[in-house]
């Protein structure tokens, strides 16, 4: 079956169990309660999604269902964007078909490279990498830093420091594949943490998103930074989230993605399962006297 017919068949089959759009839940305010654009930055986050399997299509459909009431305009991709072969037809089956509704709606995708990704993905225009392994971009009052955690060489670290230093944005959000903190099979990438976290702390990064572990996990703030692991977009390692003192919330029984809204000094986040269930939610708020600091509040 070609990808278009496969997606159509999955849409019909999934209609009986897709829940109400996730943005109707309390974690991320619905569009009617958020300041009008361009004052609000709405985006989704997804990782380890590039399987081309039915659950990945179902996640794509749930993202589109969420977008109907939470109109996010772009998606950050946390790596492992395509598993296995990466021929032109694979980009269709594993990316263009699962997210066709979003792409048709002109939602932009900004990819980071994972360990399963061919570095030549940086040349694929829909990933918006501009031919680079690492890059930054700005949306409203948020500056995003997409990093290549596969090869964190001195050149990338030097670039990152200069970009962080020159950023005048209120919010600084970094994202890449390998998590600095994790309670899963792969665990915390401590060597990577040693070189990245000092820069994040020094220059006021408030939130970090990673994938690699095939579940969702929110880490208790570390040095004033909230870390999210969202690697369940297409893969699942059920029951792999191990008890840990650093875990604030977690979900490892189904695939998932995230919705995020930034309005002035407030960031609202929501983790959503493949069936539309909210599995975590909360807010981060910039501290008035220390832009790089934040406090969390949860319903």
- Confidence band of 24 (pLDDT split at 50, 70, 90): very low
- Confidence band of 193 (pLDDT split at 50, 70, 90): very high
* Residue 117 token pair: 């990704």
Among 236, 242, 243, 241, which Cα is nearest to 257's? Answer: 236
Q: Please state whether beta strands 108-111 and 74-77 pair in parallel, antiparallel, or not at all (unpaired).
A: parallel
Instruction: List Cα–Cα distances, 189 to 59, 192, 251, 298, in angstroms.
Output: 27, 5, 20, 27
Lowest mean pLDDT among 131-140, 142-151, 279-288: 279-288
Residue 176 has pLDDT above 50, yes or no: yes
* Residue 240 token pair: 């792999």
- Confidence band of 36 (pLDDT split at 50, 70, 90): low
* 1-13 pLDDT tens trace: 454 544 444 443 3
- Domains of the chain, by residue range, sit at 3-12+35-297
Lowest mean pLDDT among 126-130, 243-247, 288-292: 288-292
Among 190, 191, 253, 173, which Cα is nearest to 217's? Answer: 253
pTM of the complete model: 0.86
CATH code assigned to 3-12+35-297: 3.60.21.10
Residue 83 has pLDDT above 60, yes or no: yes
Residue 52 has pLDDT above 50, yes or no: yes
């Amino acid at each position: 079956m070609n990808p278009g017919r496969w997606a159509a068949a999955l849409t019909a089959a999934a209609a009986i169990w897709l829940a109400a759009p996730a943005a109707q839940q309390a974690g991320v305010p619905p569009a009617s309660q958020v300041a009008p654009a361009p004052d609000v930055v709405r985006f989704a986050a997804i990782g380890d999604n590039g399987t081309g399997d039915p659950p990945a299509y179902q996640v794509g459909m749930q993202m589109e269902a969420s977008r109907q009431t939470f109109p996010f305009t772009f998606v950050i991709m946390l790596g492992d964007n395509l598993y296995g072969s990466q021929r032109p037809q694979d980009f269709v089956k594993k990316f263009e078909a699962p997210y066709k509704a979003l792409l048709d709606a002109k939602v932009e995708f900004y990819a980071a490279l994972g360990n399963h990704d061919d570095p030549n993905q940086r040349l694929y225009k829909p990933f918006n990498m501009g031919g680079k392994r690492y890059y930054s971009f700005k949306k409203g009052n948020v500056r995003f830093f997409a990093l290549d955690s596969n090869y964190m060489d001195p050149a990338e670290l030097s670039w990152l420091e200069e970009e962080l230093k020159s950023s005048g944005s209120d919010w600084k959000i970094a994202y890449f594949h390998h998590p600095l903190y994790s309670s899963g099979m792969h665990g915390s990438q401590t060597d990577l943490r040693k070189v990245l976290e000092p820069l994040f702390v020094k220059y006021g990064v408030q939130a970090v998103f990673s994938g690699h572990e095939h579940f969702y996990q929110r880490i208790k703030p570390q040095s004033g930074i909230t870390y999210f692991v969202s690697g369940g977009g297409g893969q699942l390692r059920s029951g792999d989230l191990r008890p840990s003192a650093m875990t604030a919330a977690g979900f490892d029984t189904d695939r998932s993605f995230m919705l995020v809204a930034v309005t002035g000094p407030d960031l609202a986040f929501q983790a959503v399962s493949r069936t539309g269930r909210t599995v975590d939610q909360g807010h981060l708020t910039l501290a008035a006297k220390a832009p790089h600091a934040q406090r969390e509040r949860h319903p």
